[in-house]
Chains A and B, each alone.
Chain A
Amino acid sequence: MRIFKFFFFFLFSGIYCANARTIQVCKSCEISNLETAVELAQDGDVIRIQKGTYNINNLEINKKIRLIGEDFPILDAGFKDDGLLVTADGVEIYSIEVRNTKRGNLKDFSGIRIDGADNVIVWGVRIYNAFFGVYLSNSNNALIYGNVLVGIAPDQTSSGDGIRLWKCRNVKIIKNYVSGHRDGIYFEFAYNGEIKNNKSIKNLRYGLHFMFSDTNWFADNLFTHNGTGVAVMYSSHITMLRNGFYQNWGSASYGMLLKDIKDSRIQQNMFKMNTIALYFEGSSRVKVDSNSFMENGWALKLLSSCSQDSFLTNNFIANTFDVSTNGTLFLNYFHENYWEKYTGYDINKDKIGDVPHRPVSMYSMMVENMPFVIFFMRSFIVDLMNKAEQNIPSITPENVLDSAPRMHAFKYNASSS
Chain B
Amino acid sequence: MLKITKYVLIDILRNRILLMYAIFLLIISLSLFSLEEDPAKAVISLLSVVLIILPLVGMIFSTTYFYNAYEFLELLLAQPLKRNTILLAQYIGLSTCLVLAFLFGVGIPVLIYYPNEIGAVLVFAGVMLSLCFAAFAFLASVSTRDKARGIGLSLLFWFYLAIMYDAIVMGIMYAFSDYPLEKIVVLFAALNPIDLARITVLLKLDISAMMGYTGAIYQDFFGNWKGIVFSSLVMAIWVVLPLWLSVRIFNKKNI
Contacts and interface: CB of A to CB of B under 8 A. Distances in A.
Interface-centre pick from A276, A369, A381 (highest chain B CB count, 10 A) = A381
A380 B166 contact: yes
A297 B202 contact: no
A174 B183 CA distance: 46
Contacts of B174: 370
Contacts of B254: none
Contacts of B38: 318
A381 B47 CA distance: 14
B211 interface: yes
Contact of A275 (B169, B177, B182, B212): B212
A298 B213 CA distance: 12
B209 A249 contact: no
B211 A375 contact: no
A273 interface: yes
B163 A297 contact: no
Interface in A290-307: 295-298
A249 B185 CA distance: 22
A375 B209 contact: no
Interface string B131-172: 000000000000000000000000000000011001101100
A193 to B, nearest CB: 30
A372 B212 contact: no
A347 interface: no
B44 interface: yes
B210 A297 contact: yes
B209 A374 contact: yes
Contact of B48 (A249, A273, A275, A378): A378
B163 A380 contact: yes
Nearest to B182: A372
A249 B163 CA distance: 32
13 contacts: A249-B208, A249-B211, A251-B212, A275-B208, A298-B209, A319-B208, A321-B209, A372-B182, A374-B209, A374-B214, A377-B206, A378-B44, A378-B48
Interface of B: 38, 40-41, 44, 47-48, 51-52, 162-163, 166-167, 169-170, 173-174, 177, 181-182, 185, 188-189, 195, 198-199, 202, 206-216, 218
Given A251-B213, A275-B212, A297-B212, 18 more contacts: A249-B208, A251-B212, A251-B216, A253-B211, A296-B208, A297-B215, A320-B209, A370-B174, A371-B213, A375-B169, A375-B185, A376-B170, A377-B209, A378-B44, A378-B202, A378-B206, A379-B198, A381-B167
Interface of A: 249-253, 273-276, 295-298, 318-321, 369-383
